[in-house]
Amino acid sequence: METRKPKSMRPLLLAWNGFLAVFSIMGTWRFGIEFYDAVFRRGFIDSICLAVNPKSPSAFWACMFALSKIAEFGDTMFLVLRKRPVIFLHWYHHAVVLILSWHAAIELTAPGRWFIFMNYLVHSIMYTYYAVTSVGYRLPKLVSMTVTFLQTLQMLIGVSISCIVLYLKLNGEMCQQSYDNLALSFGIYASFLVLFSSFFNNAYLVKKDKKTAVKQD
Ligand SMILES: CC(C)(COP(=O)(O)OP(=O)(O)OC[C@H]1O[C@@H](n2cnc3c(N)ncnc32)[C@H](O)[C@@H]1OP(=O)(O)O)[C@@H](O)C(=O)NCCC(=O)NCCSC(=O)CC(=O)O
């Protein structure tokens, strides 16, 4: 795109974000039924140690989740075609989430239940936010702050669950997650926690010089 003009693509971007918002809302609802059942009927320990039944409808939504991580590279494509900055957090997140999701999917890890549900839920809000902003509408700062806060909270819960699973495994509990996947989950969630906390700090807490914060359309 170096020698080309940025493309506007507003209607396509709206359709893209709208589609991912609806998909994430459906995932939250359909996968949420099993998640609710596991956490509130069978208990927290079961929910992080016993994986979803691979023949249940929730397994379909877990599979859709893994596939959606490939589709989400479309976000990056839009940023490039519109000549918007592709920040480190963005491309690092999209690349390693794909690796983690597929590594967890082939193992059918039990804590994946938490990771999938949380991400469907946060993406329902995030893609709705992006759908609204993609038509040029600017939402109050409190809204974007809330989205970033929920993303950061998701990473904190991911790190905490990885620590709890490690503790349980070291104490002889049968938890369906290999040490390889556990190390991967911990490392990735910890790096996301640092990156999203720093994004939150820079975007909402640090006072910016207005001259350097000019945006182009
Ligand atoms: C509030 C946020 C959701 C968004 O922050 P931003 O700084 O990107 O917000 P912004 O309103 O300034 O929008 C920046 C520009 O990106 C455009 N944009 C539109 N759709 C997009 C999409 N699907 N992905 C990335 N950018 C997109 C917007 O229209 C806007 O363009 P214009 O200026 O032209 O109007 C934040 O918390 C965040 O995640 N920022 C990191 C950037 C990012 O790529 N996040 C998504 C992947 S992380 C993720 O997915 C975490 C998770 O797994 O939960």
**What is the pLDDT at residue 8?**
85
Task: List Cα–Cα distances, 65 to 21, 46, 156, 205, in angstroms.
Answer: 13, 21, 20, 33
10-30: per-residue pLDDT in tens? 999 999 999 999 999 999 999
> If you average pLDDT over residues 56-61, what whole number do you get?
94
The answer on pLDDT for 181 being more than 60 is yes
Task: List Cα–Cα distances, 131 to 21, 118, 123, 135, 175, in angstroms.
Answer: 8, 20, 12, 7, 39
**What is the pLDDT at residue 12?**
96
Residue 134 CB–ligand 1 contact under 6 Å: yes
Residue 133 CB–ligand 1 contact under 6 Å: yes
138-152: per-residue pLDDT in tens? 999 999 999 999 999
**What is the pLDDT at residue 212?**
52
Residue 122 CB–ligand 1 contact under 6 Å: yes
**What is the pLDDT at residue 208?**
75
pLDDT band per the 50, 70, 90 thresholds, residue 217: very low
Percent of the chain clearing pLDDT 70 (strictly above)? 96
Active site annotation includes 90: no
How many A from CA of 126 to the centre of ligand 1? 8
DSSP 50: S
**What is the pLDDT at residue 211?**
53
**What is the pLDDT at residue 207?**
80
Report which of 101, 123, 105 is spatially closest to residue 189, judged by C-alpha positions. 101
